[in-house]
Structure formats: C-alpha cells, structure tokens
Structure 1
Amino acid sequence: MAVQVEIEGPRTPAGFADTLRAAVDGEVRFDAGSLAAYSCDSSNYRQIPLGVVVPRSVSAAVAAIRVCRQADVPVLSRGGGTSLAGQSTNAAVVIDWTKYCNQVISVDASARTCVVEPGIALDDLNRALAKDKLMFGPKPSTHQSCTIGGMVGNNSCGASAQAYGKTVDNVRRLNVLTYDGTRMWVGPTTDSELDEIAAGNDRRAELYRGMRELRDRHLAAIRTGYPKIPRRVSGYNLDSLLPENGFNVAKALVGSEGTLITVLQAELELVRVPAYQTMVVLGFPNLEEAGRAVKRILPHKPWQLEGLDEVLINLEHSEHTVDTAIERLPSGRAWLTVQFAGDTFDEADQAAHQLMDDLHGSDATVSYLDDPGREQQLIELREAGLGATAHPAAQHENWEGWEDSAVHPNDLGDYLHDLRDLLNRFGYDESETSLYGHFGQGCVHTRIPFELRTADGISHYREFVQEAAQLVTTKYGGSLSGEHGDGQSRGELLTTMFGPELVGAFGELKALFDPGNRMNPGKIVDPNPLDSHLRLGTEFAHRPFPTEFAYPKDDGKFSKAAMRCVGIGKCRQSSSASGEVMCPSYLVTREEEHSPRGRSRLLFEMVRGEVIPDGWRSKEVRDALDLCLACKGCKVDCPVGVDVATYKAEFMSHHYRHRLRPMAHYSMGWLPVAALLASRAPKLVNAVTQAPLAARVLKRAGGIAPERQIPRFAEQTMTDWWKDRTPKSGKRVVLWPDTFTNYFHPAIGRSAVAVLESAGYEVALPERPVCCGLTWISTGQLGIAKRVLRRTIGVLRDEIRAGVPIVGLEPSCGAVFRSDAAELLPDDEDIRRLSRQFVTFAELLRDWEPPQLDVHALVQTHCHEHAVLTSDAEADLMKRAGIGREQLDSGCCGLAGNFGFERGHYDVSIAAGERVLLPRVRAADASSVIVADGFSCRTQIEQATDRRAVHLAELLATGLQEE
C-alpha cells in the first residue's frame, strides 16, 4: 500500500500517534483510509474513530490502553465489527483484536473448557475444537466472522441458544482490564472469597466492594426488575451479582459492550458436537399461528426452533439466494424449522417423529428431513435473512432499529400480531418488512424501511421505536434486545424497560468501573440519542457521481451501491467457506481495508466527502482497491451482493482519467492488441520475452512483477488454424475465440471444435477479430471497453439476431457477456440478446453423451465461473463422462488475470494460491488430471508447480481419440 497522510487533529493530543507507536508492539494507524474503514459497524450509526491500533499481543493492547489513559482518550475494543446496535463504532481509539490476538491458548477436553484470546472468530475456534468433538455452544448467524471478544461484549446468542443458552451461560471466567489499568481474572465468587477480596486495599478490592454495595442497595429492584424470559440481553447483568447466583463477576460483565472493561482472555465452557440431527419443517397459514404453535413444540425440547415468514421467503427468492431450500418448504405462508439432535440417529429421529405425532390433526403442514445437506440449506435460508431483508429489490433500503425484541415464547403469537399492527399503523409496508427469528426463545428479527435522511422520517423512526418499546416491555414484559444488545439503538429506551432505579444502578456500575466515561462512551449508560450519529441523517448529501456502469440493482447510482454493504462481515472469515471465493485478499492480509466490507466503507466515505474529500481522485480508496483481485467472489458470496470488482473498475476509470496510468494498465490492459501484433512473428517475440535480460527489461517497462514469467505466444493461432478447415454440417454455433485461447492456448480451441463437431454442431468463428473488452474492464479503461464491445457486436450482429448460440471457453470472457457488458451498455439490445444466448462449453453440451473417461480430475473452478456462470453444467458433463471429479475448495487461484502479473502483487497472488490450490496440486497423484478452464488458473499452476492443467475440452477430446 502507498504511504497515506495521517490525520491527527484537535481530537487527540499533539504527538499522540507517535507516543502510541513507541509504546505498542502493533500497527498504529491514523490515516484517513483506516478511519474510514472503521467508521461504521452493522448498525445505523457512524462515528469516525480517533485512530486504530492492531496489537500483536494482548500485552500490546494493554500498553495501548495505558497510553490512551495517560492522554485521557476514549477506547473502543472491537471484534468482528458486526454489531447491530452501534456498539462497535465510536469517536475513540479502536483496538482491533482480529488480526493477531486470535489464538486458542489451551483446551481441557475432559473438563470441556478452553481459554482463548478475544480476537478469535467463532468458526475458527470451533474448527480448532473439532478434533475433540467439542464446540462453543452459542452460534450467531455471523459465526464466520464474529469473535469471542465481541460475543462476550454483546452477550451473543444465535439459533443454537435454544439448546445452549446465551454467551453469558457459557462463560466460566474472564481476564479483564479496566481503563485505569487494573488487570484481573473474574468469575463466580463464594461469600468467603468475596470477603477476602473486599478486605484488600487495591483497586480490585474497591471494585468488588463497590459491586457488593451496589447490589445490596438495589437488591429488591434487581430481583424483580429483570424479565423472566429466555432472551433478555438488554442492560447490565446485575442479577449475576445476586447471592443466589454466586456473585459471578464474569457473567455480570458479559454484555457490557466494552463500556466497563476490555476482555483480554476468556475461559469458556464447551459442549459436545451433536452427532446426528433431524429437522421437521412446519407450514402455517400465517405468522401468528406459527408463533402460537411454539408453546406446543417446546416440551419436545428442540435443539433449534426458528421462524420464517412469507415476506422473507419472497425476498430471498427474488435474489435466488436459496431457491432449492425454498422449493422444498411445505405449503403455508409462515414456517417453523424445528431441529432435533442426539448422540444416535434413532434419538434424533424419534424426537422428530414424536413431534409430528403430537401435531397430527393440526393445521400445520409437515416436512421431515434427515438429510444433513437439506437441513443445512434451510439453516442457510434462515441465516440469509439479514442480507435478504436489507435491500429488497426495487424497494426502499431496510434498517435495524427494532431488530431483535424478545418476549416469552408463550406470548409470541400475540406479540407478532401486535407488532405487525404497529408496523402497519406507522406505514411500514408488509411486503418489505419481514418478521422472523429465534421463535423458540421468543426473539423476533426484522429490518424496517425507516427513512433516515429527512427530519420527518427520523422523527417517525424515533416515535416508532418508542411505541414499540412500550409494547414489548409494558404489555408483554419482554426485552428491547433479545440478541444484539443496546448500544445506541436502545440505550435511551432502557428506562422504559427497567425503570429509573435499575437504570440508575447501571450508571453506578459504569461510574465504579469507568469513572471518566472513557470506555466506549455513549452506549448503554448516558447513551447518545438513538437518532444521532446516524450513518445517513439530515446532513447526508453528496455531489452526483456520473458512472460508466449502470448499477441496475442500485437505481443506477454509485452512491447507493457504496451503501450496499450492511457490515455482516462474511467477507472477513479466515478461510473460504465451502464452495465460496470471497475474499482472497482479506484471507491473505487479514486487513479490514482489504475486505469487501472495508472497501465499501471507504467508498461510502468517499461519497460523503468528509473523511475522504477527494472523490474519484482519492489515494486512500485507490490503495484499498489496489489489492482487490477483481475475482467477483463478493458479487455472489456476499449476502447483499457487494460487487467490489465493478466498483474497482469504475473507480479506476475516473481516478486515472486524463492522467498517466500505471504501466501495467497499458501492457496488460491492451493485451489483445499486443497479442494480435505478436501473432505476426510469434517465434521472434517468444525469443525476446523468454531471454532473461530482455524479459527483465520488458517486465520493468510494463509494470510486470519480476518474479513472473511472460507466457509464450502460440506459433499458430486458433483463428489461423481455422482458416484451413472445412466446417462440418449441423446445428450452427459460434465458438468465441477469446484472446487467451486464440493467442496462447489454441490447442484448447482445436479440442473444443473436435468435441462440438462430435456432438453434431456446425462450428463457426467470427470472420473478423473480436474481443469482449475484459482486459480493459479489469484495468478500468471503460471507455475503450465500450468501444471494443460495440465493435464486437457489429461483427456478431447477424449471428446474434439469428439467435445462434455463442460458445465460450474462457470463463472470464463469458462473465463479461453475461454481466459486465450489459451493465456497461444497458441500452444496447444486441448486448442484451448476447447476454442471453452466450453459453459455456459445458452448458451447450447438456444433452450430449460424452465418451467415457476413467480418470480422476482435480478441478479448479475459475472465480468468474463461480460468481457469474456457475459450474453446475461442467460438473454434470464430467459426471456423464465418468470422470471422477474432485472439486478443489480453494477459492481464487490468486493470479486473477492481470492482478498477479502486476508489480507489487506477486506476494499476495502466490499467498492466495498457497492457501489450498498449489499445495493440493503438488500433492496430487501423477495419474490425476488437473482441470482448470481459466487461463489465469492454468498459468498460476504452471508457474508455481511442476504440473500442467488442462481445459475440460482438452480432456474430453482425448476420449474422442480413444473411441
């Protein structure tokens, strides 16, 4: 990354950043890019941090807080940054634990406990525990990226809390640090231990005496003032200090959202991973009936019990996110998914059938699942709720604000009815506002189309949440928050729920631990107003941003695309989820700015123009986008469809307009032209590019990484070979001669022709040179890309209008025609037609009976194929050919077109490949075939291993030769 100008202004003492750097073993950042990346969490709120510290150890974090204390600067301890109530955004020094302080310190499998650092993500912890068949019980839907420190801070829950309770129920002890520097282990305390500690003269003794005195002063209110429901997350856990609860200081501090202490280590209680699960899916005529059925189901002791409504299903269906799972739902307009677990299959199966027997004769429709794959699809359907409800297609954005209220499960049906009535009375459209959630514990999730840009809309929002707070607490004795905490969204509503005495007691606890209000100020106690510090607000304004792409899902506005990210943080998982690509650069660097979320934050701040005032000329945004591989993984893997590859191309188009570009943009952006010229004398060109001294000069001049080899040009192009052939008769198709196949790997084209003709097709090639414009798009030269596409359409117009299929071999070029081209030229009807009749090689051969090949194939799917084209047809074709297909779960190969060739990107490119792909290829048996349809993937494999990968067309063509 380039050096960035630091911002150290009137909000921090002079020299504060330098003092931090001198004292802290870690990364200390006060540049505009870092401040922008950490300005928001998953909530409605935005506060620009003072600076960011990424400590390399727990002791380094302690040192950072010491420096902040000496300068009287506030501190925010941040985990995954996925908080939905504003807990993890503040005008403070942000301590980001996730990059380094993410280790499992110890595991005691026999006692079912472990000790961990706060920055470890839940999924990473559970992967480490899997060998002992243990796990941490609570599992929020953000389990890929939420951290244990954040879960302790927010008292997180998730669907599995039905069986295992909230985080507070699974914490044994905490190693904590107060702002004044007191460090101590806390947990349950016997009366004698409490007396001994309180008799001391140190700060620890003062804290314990203060907590005991506070408890005793408010004993009656504490005993009677907390709702007796399974999902109460709001407020401080003063009830954990009651004598009957063992004066458990650790549990009292869980859910305090970083306002009292910083968690340095956590000792957790673990549970056994259930060996078997079954699921019963119940359909109901409406959501209220589903809610009322919960109390009949709970005696069966389900492992998970989730609720879904028709609005959520329609929203997810419109995005095609989980269509297979949706199609398998039983009839109804609302559903409950009831999961059972057991040590044996019979145990789980019997529980499911007992429930179905009990419901026999009821109005519920029933579907029984004992297939883990189908069960997982339905779990993913529920977990996709936040993404699906955030951006309803062609509708107003939806926001948190009343996201996770909770009541007793017996009251759920009536509460859902009253909440829907309240939403309707305030004009929040039923078609946009889904109600779903953890129904077995009475917790209801929703995102609501609040208008947060106008004074009237914000006033309406405030009035709604105030009435909703009265509804859930006064009428139903419920909780403002059943999962995501108070933060700023609900802090000022706590008096409605707890009354003035308990809220006053919260303030006393805050004053005891943090008398100067330096720990995450403005949350829970003395909270910022719920309608202040809004991400949008009445001051949100931006100048127009004319664009090259059309942004059809964002009303044609780049500013709206920059707001698409809702902060879920799925892009920040430490390893690719099964079958996903997102996000290779974050997986290598573990930097917030190198995640789609971080890049989205910078683009949003660029649109706002305050922290990043330079618009398209911003160096901070350029640097954050520099390591984006343009793999398009986020386009499909992100729950809300953030598309950083497109944003990057758009940004570069404007950033370099009328300016000199990096040399790599010329050498690789204009590759189709260079390849055409090279094809006139390929032997001579190869002799120059492969000569060490000449290659070194060429790479330096072209901005190419010195570690890379320049690929050889073919001595005969595919199009030259084609001129001497007589096409066979059959159904006409046009084979697309992409730059990579035509000039570098024409054998793939020859193989494809042989296969297509064997399948009965008459193959044609365009009569003149054509190009999809990919290399110009990936380097942000969008004006040229449009001209290239228009020229190509002119060459293919007759074929397009005749409906002739255009067959592609290179996935990245296919992705241009399926997606990018139509967004660059949205008004061109021929482009629109082409996007619909462009097919991949495997898609065209869906009905062909291929030759049988007794081989094992290790398959690397190209990122663009994953994101835009899908690899289903290829998998099916290989299966029909008898090929033993092993799909590598490796994500991006790391080369990613021009990215891995550009100077400065080699280390990241190789590190991405070394995660999974390259080691697996090196370890593959010599008899295994490596299949990679993408030129980038094949090149990365060839240059980093001693193996050569082939295109599927080449592999199938060998079968034709054997017939």
Structure 2
Amino acid sequence: MHSKPHKAFYKELLSVIPKERIYQDPLQVLAYGTDASFYRLIPKMVVDAETEEEVLYLLKLADTHRIPVTFRAAGTSLSGQGISDSVLVRIGDAWRNYRITENATRFVVQPGLIGSHANRALLPFGRKIGPDPASIDSAKIGGIVANNASGMCCGVAENSYKTLHSMRMALYDGTLLDTACEGSKKAFAEKHPEIIKGLNDIRERVMADGELSALIRKKFKIKNTTGYSLNAIVDFEDPYEILQHLMVGSEGSLGFISEVTYRTVVEPKYKATTLAMFPSLQDACLATMELKKQPVAAVELMDERSLRSVSDKPGMPDSIKNIAEGTTSLLIETASNDPFELEKQIEQIVSSIDSINKLEPVEFCHDPIQCAQFWAVRKGLFPAVGAVRETGTTVIIEDVAFPPERFADGVARLDELLKKYEYDLAIMFGHALEGNLHFVFTQDFGIGSEIDRYQGFMDEVCKMVATEYKGSLKAEHGTGRNMAPFVELEWGKQAHDLMREIKELLDPYNLLNPGVIINDDPRAHLTALKPLPAAHSIVDKCIECGFCEPICPSANVTFTPRQRITSLRELHRLKDSPSEQHKLKKMWAEYNYLAVETCATDGLCHTRCPVDINTGTMIKDLRAQNVSSFANSTADWVGRNFSTVAKGVQVALKGANLAHRLFGTSLMDAGAQGLRVISLKKIPLWNKEMPTSASPIKAVPVNQSNPDKVVYFPSCISRTMGPAKDDENKTDIPQKTIQLLLKAGYEVLFPSNMENLCCGQAFASKGYTAQGEAKSKELSDALLAISENGKYPVLCDTSPCLHRMLDHMDKRLTLYDPIRFCLDCLPDKLEFAKLPRKIAIHPTCTVREMNLVEPLVQLANMCAEQVVLPHDVYCCGFAGDRGFSFPELNKSALADLPRQVADCDEAYSTSRTCEVGLSLHSGLQYKNIMYLVDDATVPKKE
C-alpha cells in the first residue's frame, strides 16, 4: 500500500512523465528493481526518466513530498547500491548521447552510455576512457562514475576520479550545476551559498588537521571506494572541484550525474600478454613487487583454486591443466604505440623476474586471439564459481585492497579465514599491482546458521583488512549496503563524522539513495537479503548480474533475461505462501506477456551470460508446458498436413497483397490497426512489408554427368513468402538461389516430398516440442536420402533454420547456410567483383550464434565497395512470425537501425521473416545475401 506522500508524488509526476513510463505493478517493480547484488528491496514505483528536465522535476517533487529516490543505470553493481524500497529511477537508452572534443582528449557523455561503447567511439582516435571495469560491456557511464569503478588496468591513476574534467549534476532539490559553466556556478552559489560555504569550511578544517589530512592521502594511495571520496577535500581548493569529485563514488547519495566530461587516455596500438606460472603464492607476490617497477599495463593474480575452476573450459591454455598444489599465476600485459619499444619492454619485464622461481619460462604472446584466451581465464573466474554453486545459494564477490608491500601477507591471512569458516570452494584473484584482491564464495542466506557464519566471517575479514593491514574494505565495487556498517571501522570516527557532515550538507533530508555509504544499522549487510529459490533447471544458476541485458531485443519494451528469471523465481517463491495466492494468478498472467510472449527466444543472451544460460530455451519450455491438448492436437494436424497449411498461407498472402494493391498502404494500415484493437491484439498486425506469395519452384535442368552436386533445401518460409509488394526485384529466394547455383556449375538436387518438409523451428519456438522433433527427423531422413548419406553438401537459405538443422540433423550431413556456402564453395567457381554500392548487412541472431558475423562481413566486402554493420543491433525481434503478433518487440529492437543505415543503397540478411521487420523499420528493402552474391559474380573463365 502506497503512502499518501507517494500517491501525491505520483499524481504530480504524471504532469511531466507519461503513465507508460511509471511502473507500480508488483511484478514489474520487482523485476525492474533487481540489481546484481545479493540484496532485495522492492520499489513502490519505478520511473523511466528520459531527459534532464524530467529528472530535475522529479527531484523537486521528491524534495517537496520527502520521498526517497534512487537512480539506477545498468544495475550491475554488486554491493546493494542500485536498489530501493521507495522510488527507483532508471536511466536508459535516452541518455546515450556523447561528444568527442579537443582532438579526442575530451569525451562528453551522458550516464546511459555503456562503457565499452564509449571506448568504441574513441578507438579511431587511439583514445579511451580511463576506468576499465570487468563489467564494461554492460555497465553504464553513470554507474561507472557513481561507483568510481576501476578495473584491471586503470589502477588509481586513470579512474573516473582522476580523469574527471567537469560534470553536470542535480542536487536533492532539483538544482542544476554545470561545473564547466561560469554562469551555472554563479547561479548555484546564489541559490545554495550554504553548500559553497560548507565545502570551504570543511576543507579549511581538514587541511588544518595534519593527522586527518595525512590519513586521507594515505587511504587513497591504494584503491579505495569505501565511503565518500574524501581525497577531493585535500586534492582541490575550488569548492566546485571538491563537489564534483565528491560525486564520484557517491553512489547517487549526493546527487544525480547527468553528464560527465572525461579526460581521455591513450589506447596503445600494440600489446603483448603472458600467463606466468609460479610454484607458490609467495613467489608470485615477490614477482609482483618487481613488476611494479616495470612498464606493465596490468598484472592479474590467480590462485590455485582459481586456475582449477576454469581449467576444463574450452580454449584454456595447457599450462593451467594438472597444476600442482600452491601454483599461482600472474597474467601480465604490456603495451606501447611503438612495436620496437614493446619488444624492449618485454625484455625488461622478463629480466626483472628472471631470478624468481617459476614453473616455466615466461614467454609473451602478441597474437590477439591467444591473448584473448589468457584474459578469458581471468574473466571466467567469477562465473566459474557461480556455475557450480548449489541451487538456492548466492555467489558473493568481495573486494579488498592491501598496501602493496603487505599484499602477500594479506592474501595468506584471508586464505586462513576462508578455511576457518569452511568456504572451501572460494577462489582468490585480483589486480596485484594495486594490492587489490577479489575473493568469491557461495553462501546460503535461507538458513539462519549460514547467515551467522557469513556474519562471523565478514566481521573478521573487515577487522583484519581495516585495522591490521590498514587496507580498503571496498577497493572498486563501491560501499553499498554491503559495507556501509563497516565504514567507520575502516576510517575511524572523525573521518566517518566528516562523511556524515557531507551527506547532510548535500542531502539534508536523506532522500538520495538512503542506506548506502552512511547507515546506522550495524546489521544492514545482513538484512534485505535476496532469495534465490529454484525456478527452472535451465536458469537456476543465474547470478542476476545483468550482463545479458544490452543484447536483449525486448530490453526496452518488456523484460530482459535477468528480469524474466528474477520474476519467475518470485512466482515460484509465492507458490509456497498461502497468503499470496490471491495475487499469484494475476501475476502469472502478466508474466505471460512480459516474459513469455515477448521473448524472441533468440538465445543471444547466453553469449553474454557468465554462466552460459540460454533464457530463450527456458521460455520455449514454459511455452511447451502451457500448450493445451487442443493446441497440441492442432499442431499434430499441421505437422501431418504441412503442405496444405503452407498453401493456405500462400492464399492468405495473395489476398493481403491484392487488398494492398486495391486499397493502398494508408487504408490497409488503418484497417489493420483497427482489427488489432477490436481483437484485443489477438489478430496479427499487417504491415506494408508483408510478403507476397512465393511462386512454385520451377523444374531445374538435370545433368547426371556433373560431379558437382548440391542439395538445396529452401526453407518453408522461403517457399511460402515472396518479395514485398514494393520490392523492385520480384524473384523469389529459391529462384535466385537456384540461378546462382546453376551459374556456379552445380547440379541442384531437392529432397523428395519437399512441400511437406520443415526443420521444426516453427513448432519448437512455440512450445510444440514433439512436433518440432518429428519434423526435424523427417527432414533429416529426406536429406540423407537425396545426399546419398552425406556425399553431397546441403544448402539451406535461411540461417535460423540451418542453425536448428545443425543441432537436430544426422551428423553425416554437411550443412551450409548461405554465408559459409558462398565463402567455401563459390570462389573456385565464380569471379567476385566489388559493386559500386554502399550496403547494410544484418547478422541474424543465429548467424551470431554460429560465429558467422565476420564471415558475413567478409562476404559482403567481396561484393560491395562499402559495407555497414550497424552497432548494437542484435536480434531484430521479429522472431519468426512473432513480429506480426507482437510488433512492439520488433520496433523496439530496431530503434537504432534507421539512423545507422540512412545513407545505404541496399541491405541484406539471411532470414526472410527478419527481413520483413528490418525493411519495415529501416527504410531499406532487406533481401537475402544470395541476391547480392548473384549480382556480384560471373562464371570463371576456363
């Protein structure tokens, strides 16, 4: 039940933010309110703010009604700083604008841009942003700055604090300050003189206290995100510099950051990496002390258990297999813009640790693929623990820093504590140069005695790190609820009181993300713990990190994979709660649309998932569980009478095309929208790119003497759907493919009874698993027969179908999609010429899963002078025929496409249904890549 202030806040907020972007439904606020930490607070409402003006108004309202507000970017934070039981404000794709200025030495960016996307924009200039967190492919700038996230290479010299140039920020009452604008600073001083005076007074007192100022300087010589950035007080005299640097690492508890200007850093062109193996932790730490004096970009320590946890993963180097007890590795990277200088650096580094015990000689690698494998060892450690934990347990990653000279002793002491509290599967790794250590372990928060064990362990760890070693309890993951009760332990009462003073000065009513950094509850780290009940065997290993979200086509319209899993867990938890049964039925109905129906089931989420979860597979299983007996019988009938159904679809397409020609696009659009409304969205939505009916496949000349034979299986989609009404090329995909194959000198073979054949994808994606398997088996048998048990290659013109065929067909078959077939089989038979065209290409989700993106780019470059591969356009969201039934999914997934292909002449992909959605939302006619290859080739001269 919402309080009166929240109701009044909501009512007034509607005057600026539309109702569609304010969520109060129990299932949605639960899903949208979840972050990567092991804490759970459920917001009273979630708001998607899209402009700075909306945020300013929201803050003014919150101040008026005394409503606590928490801002959230990607939600990858690990310490509980991205959750709220009041109002959670999400910063999404509307906040991705950036500008590159001052010869790329300045990068002006909004908080919604993903960190790696910032680096992608800067790469042509040989620059990057300083911070490099492991979550950089998912974490957004807002979170990176607000947590002062660092990473493996930036250390304490190139994090957000050190590379900040200026900032636009909003305080608790909606006051805006731009520290790069003199007018803005003057207006701020007039409105809030108490803040300027307060900051000046604090600086004066701190600088007059030699002991306190010395403590602050010492604390930030190593990585430290525990508490506020008190170094701002001793590093700067100007109150605006102090203020903007206090905002870094403040976790949204002092204000909202709407824009940041970074001083960029150099991204070296040349790099070399090695995985050095040592017989003991002591030897590795001794090497680290020597390496700190050398030109190294990163030194990552991994203990024996870390190495064992990933030793059986694909692509791991042989050196980490069958290691001896105590073995410790250092992943060392060096970099330079001069290749000759790089070689000198390598010699210097190897020489510096020559006298230290090693298990094998140190050899640096320059090959990017091999180097990437070395880094995969390091990046795979956290998920390796998450993947093997028991269902219902949480995977916890803690993050401490020791003074570098005491690093080895600190690691040994921590290992003793892990053994004492029987965290036997825990692993340790970290940024050794900075004395920064991560340790990962699993914990059951569903049992009181286990919580007690965790409390005892954390109490001892905190005391050991903070008091014995004078280290940092949080080196780079932020304070959050996890470490807020221990801030005073690390900093002492005087510094902690100073932090309280800063909080009260900038947030006098404790409205901004209350409970993080400053928290009076000594048990805050033991409360509001997130339950992780078993929900589905496919997804029970999910650690809710959110790494999957940037690649999900439904991310901005309904749920992401993380949110699908989070809400499913809650639904299963409520099953065992008698008092909650009244709302469970409604929540399941909502889940059906938000999670099940609008999932494209493309499987791309597993390519970003640290524990390799394919949420799409789970959704297919849920669909299968919900299939009624009538629907199942209908699917059986469709499977047996597939050619009849296909002909019915063709008749419907012909009718729709005739109506389109008679009535025109505008009238058809209006009629389709009307039917959609009247049917309560049950009738699929017609669109102007609806295909016409495909023509029957014509007889192909037979040449029995030709040894070069190919089996061609046109997918049922290609056999059914022809070009769109306005497509200038009226040749169907099968006809175009046959034309190309004949030009290459192939005899084209077709499986018998082809009109009835289907790979099974159309059935399986809807939950008709048995029928899908039956159709797959039927096709496999037919292809084996016509290919003479795999003697001849088999080509399918549709990538999603080929992807399923690879998984379900007889392994004797050699199966090709259009991309690989054109690259492997045609260059010896046809001459390729670059056409004077600028083309766009779209790798379907299955092309990405089959690792064919680069081959598609290669093929396109063989055929056209300019090729555009749009950034961050992954699955198109059409998902077979789902784009007709849930057009909002397709529209949202392709929101960025038109801008990126606006100046292209043509566009190509490898799935007819995907091409419908791509054409509809791009302004270009997307066609199968076979059309381009046919245009760009001629037979080779003998």
Normalising by the smaller structure, the TM-score range is 0.7 to 0.9
User: Could you tell me which of 529, 540, 543 is aligned with 1:534?
Assistant: 529
Instruction: Give the letter for the 1:531 counterpart.
Output: L
- CA 1:469–1:817 in 2, change beyond 3 Å: closer, same or farther? farther
Show the counterpart of 1:413. Answer: 408
Rounded Cα–Cα distance in structure 1 between residues aligned with 2:99 and 2:863 = 47
Instruction: Give the letter for the 2:230 counterpart.
Output: L
1:435 match: secondary structure: strand
Count of residues paired in the alignment: 884
Cα distance, 1:868 vs structure 2: 4.5
Show the counterpart of 1:567. Answer: 545
- State how 1:411-560 maps to structure 2 within 5 Å: 411-430=406-425, 433-526=426-519, 527=521, 529-536=524-531, 557-558=536-537
Cα distance, 1:897 vs structure 2: 1.6
Instruction: Give the letter for the 2:844 counterpart.
Output: C
Show the counterpart of 2:657. Answer: 690
Show the counterpart of 1:52. Answer: 46
Cα distance, 1:19 vs structure 2: 1.2
The one-character-per-residue Cα deviations of 1:336-380 (angstroms, maximum 9, x if unpaired) are 232233343333332222112323354343222334554455445
Instruction: Give the letter for the 1:366 counterpart.
Output: V
Rounded Cα–Cα distance in structure 2 between residues aligned with 1:37 and 1:864 = 25
Instruction: Give the letter for the 2:552 counterpart.
Output: C
Cα distance, 1:184 vs structure 2: 4.5
User: Could you tell me which of 58, 65, 68 is aligned with 1:74?
Assistant: 68
- CA 1:767–1:202 in 2, change beyond 3 Å: closer, same or farther? closer
- Residue range with higher mean Cα deviation, 794-803 or 676-685: 794-803
Q: Do 1:683 and 1:715's aligned partners in 2 also have CA atoms closer than 8 Å?
A: no
1:447 match: secondary structure: strand
Rounded Cα–Cα distance in structure 2 between residues aligned with 1:288 and 1:75 = 47
Rounded Cα–Cα distance in structure 1 between residues aligned with 2:544 and 2:841 = 31
Cα distance, 1:41 vs structure 2: 1.2
The one-character-per-residue Cα deviations of 1:180-228 (angstroms, maximum 9, x if unpaired) are 4555467999xxx99xx99998332453266347747976345337546
- CA 1:337–1:749 in 2, change beyond 3 Å: closer, same or farther? same
Structure 1 regions of 5+ residues with no counterpart? 1-7, 546-556, 573-581, 820-830, 925-929
The answer to whether residue 199 in structure 2 is matched with residue 208 in structure 1 is yes
Instruction: Give the letter for the 2:717 counterpart.
Output: F
Show the counterpart of 1:841. Answer: 816
- State how 1:147-226 maps to structure 2 within 5 Å: 147-162=140-155, 164-181=157-174, 183-184=176-177, 202-205=193-196, 207-208=198-199, 211-212=202-203, 215=206, 220-221=211-212, 223-224=214-215
Instruction: Give the letter for the 1:639 counterpart.
Output: P
- State how 1:314-329 maps to structure 2 within 5 Å: 315-316=309-310, 318=312, 320=314, 323=315, 326=317
TM-score, length-scaled by structure 2: 0.79
The one-character-per-residue Cα deviations of 1:901-936 (angstroms, maximum 9, x if unpaired) are 336348617835835886586257xxxxx5x44333
The answer to whether residue 847 in structure 2 is matched with residue 866 in structure 1 is yes
Rounded Cα–Cα distance in structure 2 between residues aligned with 1:568 and 1:362 = 41
Show the counterpart of 2:617. Answer: 646
User: Could you tell me which of 756, 762, 772 is aligned with 1:775?
Assistant: 762
Q: Do 2:863 and 2:936's aligned partners in 1 also have CA atoms closer than 8 Å?
A: no
Q: Do 1:33 and 1:621's aligned partners in 2 also have CA atoms closer than 8 Å?
A: no
User: Could you tell me which of 563, 571, 577 is aligned with 1:606?
Assistant: 571
Rounded Cα–Cα distance in structure 2 between residues aligned with 1:565 and 1:319 = 19
The one-character-per-residue Cα deviations of 1:477-502 (angstroms, maximum 9, x if unpaired) are 22111101111111222343233443
Rounded Cα–Cα distance in structure 1 between residues aligned with 2:900 and 2:189 = 58
The answer to whether residue 709 in structure 2 is matched with residue 740 in structure 1 is no
Cα distance, 1:140 vs structure 2: 1.2
Show the counterpart of 2:366. Answer: 370
The answer to whether residue 368 in structure 2 is matched with residue 391 in structure 1 is no
- State how 1:716-865 maps to structure 2 within 5 Å: 716-717=696-697, 738-743=715-720, 745-747=733-735, 765=752, 769-778=756-765, 780=766, 782=767, 784-790=768-774, 793=777, 804=789, 807=794, 809=796, 810-817=798-805, 834=809, 839-841=814-816, 851-855=828-832, 860=841, 862-865=843-846
The answer to whether residue 268 in structure 2 is matched with residue 274 in structure 1 is yes
The answer to whether residue 225 in structure 2 is matched with residue 256 in structure 1 is no
2:443 match: secondary structure: coil
Instruction: Give the letter for the 2:198 counterpart.
Output: L
- Residue range with higher mean Cα deviation, 608-617 or 952-961: 952-961
Cα distance, 1:155 vs structure 2: 1.6
The answer to whether residue 686 in structure 2 is matched with residue 706 in structure 1 is yes
Cα distance, 1:66 vs structure 2: 1.3
Cα distance, 1:39 vs structure 2: 1.9
Q: Do 2:877 and 2:890's aligned partners in 1 also have CA atoms closer than 8 Å?
A: no
User: Could you tell me which of 132, 135, 146 is aligned with 2:139?
Assistant: 146
- State how 1:88-107 maps to structure 2 within 5 Å: 88-104=82-98, 107=101
Q: Do 1:74 and 1:519's aligned partners in 2 also have CA atoms closer than 8 Å?
A: yes
Rounded Cα–Cα distance in structure 2 between residues aligned with 1:803 and 1:286 = 58
The one-character-per-residue Cα deviations of 1:870-889 (angstroms, maximum 9, x if unpaired) are 43997799799999997946
The one-character-per-residue Cα deviations of 1:426-449 (angstroms, maximum 9, x if unpaired) are 22234xx33222222111223211
Show the counterpart of 2:679. Answer: none
- State how 1:6-85 maps to structure 2 within 5 Å: 9-10=2-3, 12-23=5-16, 27-85=21-79
Rounded Cα–Cα distance in structure 1 between residues aligned with 2:815 and 2:337 = 46
Cα distance, 1:646 vs structure 2: 2.6
Cα distance, 1:64 vs structure 2: 0.5
Show the counterpart of 2:643. Answer: 676
- Residue range with higher mean Cα deviation, 726-735 or 286-295: 726-735
Q: Do 2:49 and 2:91's aligned partners in 1 also have CA atoms closer than 8 Å?
A: yes
- Residue range with higher mean Cα deviation, 742-751 or 843-852: 843-852
Q: Do 1:733 and 1:762's aligned partners in 2 also have CA atoms closer than 8 Å?
A: yes
Cα distance, 1:384 vs structure 2: 4.5
- CA 1:149–1:957 in 2, change beyond 3 Å: closer, same or farther? closer
User: Could you tell me which of 348, 355, 365 is aligned with 1:354?
Assistant: 348
TM-score, length-scaled by structure 1: 0.78
Instruction: Give the letter for the 1:773 counterpart.
Output: G
Structure 2 regions of 5+ residues with no counterpart? 575-579, 677-681, 722-732
Rounded Cα–Cα distance in structure 1 between residues aligned with 2:244 and 2:88 = 23
The one-character-per-residue Cα deviations of 1:926-957 (angstroms, maximum 9, x if unpaired) are xxxx5x44333555677763564344998699
Instruction: Give the letter for the 1:566 counterpart.
Output: E
The answer to whether residue 590 in structure 2 is matched with residue 623 in structure 1 is no
Instruction: Give the letter for the 1:945 counterpart.
Output: L
Rounded Cα–Cα distance in structure 1 between residues aligned with 2:863 and 2:143 = 48
Cα distance, 1:385 vs structure 2: 4.1
Q: Do 2:98 and 2:108's aligned partners in 1 also have CA atoms closer than 8 Å?
A: yes
Rounded Cα–Cα distance in structure 2 between residues aligned with 1:508 and 1:881 = 65
Rounded Cα–Cα distance in structure 2 between residues aligned with 1:208 and 1:804 = 80
2:335 match: secondary structure: strand
- CA 1:143–1:740 in 2, change beyond 3 Å: closer, same or farther? same
Rounded Cα–Cα distance in structure 2 between residues aligned with 1:626 and 1:936 = 18
**Cα RMSD, aligned residues only:** 5.0
Q: Do 2:81 and 2:516's aligned partners in 1 also have CA atoms closer than 8 Å?
A: yes
User: Could you tell me which of 360, 378, 381 is aligned with 1:382?
Assistant: 378
